[in-house]
Amino acid sequence: MNKPSIFRTRYIPFETVDISSDELLYRDEELLITRWKAIKPRKDISGGISYTFLKEGIKISRFYDADKRFAYWYCDIIDVEYDKGNDRFTLIDLLLDVKLMPDGTMQVLDADELAEALERGLITQEKVCSSLKKMDNILQQIYNGNFPPAICLEESYWKV
């Protein structure tokens, strides 16, 4: 399995970070599964496993605490750009996130950042609409009891 370059781009703050050092666990045309450690030290998480659904434009991550216990699910709404010639993925953060705790409580995060990005002309109306539709898709999966996707529950990828 060839390991691609993977970059994460954010609008607020505007930055592009090379996350190619994440461990690649699985790859096909629809899915990347990676294991990673937190870039910046944090008290609540030490790392996780991310499932990047390339065609759907969502990244679902299993976050782990310092004792490597499951902490929560975190869903990033993204756009994916792929440069086949350089085997490079750029995951563009569309700002909205959904955090789902083990007890079922849920938070929608960063709606204020999405509004700010639109007001400042950092993101197009089309991308805002895409972000909202993708978030609604995740919320509907959660409400209907279809979250997380089955692949995210396969122990072979996340058993520590």
For 121-156, the pLDDT digits (tens) are: 999 999 999 999 999 999 999 999 999 999 999 887
Domains of the chain (ranges; CATH) run 5-155 (2.40.380.10)
> Helix 111-119 and helix 125-143: axis angle, to 10°?
170
Contact between residue 123 and residue 27 where contact means Cβ atoms under 8 Å apart: no
pLDDT of residue 159: 64
Contact between residue 44 and residue 37 where contact means Cβ atoms under 8 Å apart: no
For 60-105, the pLDDT digits (tens) are: 999 999 888 999 999 999 999 999 999 999 999 999 999 999 999 9
5-10 and 88-100 strand pairing: parallel
pLDDT of residue 158: 65
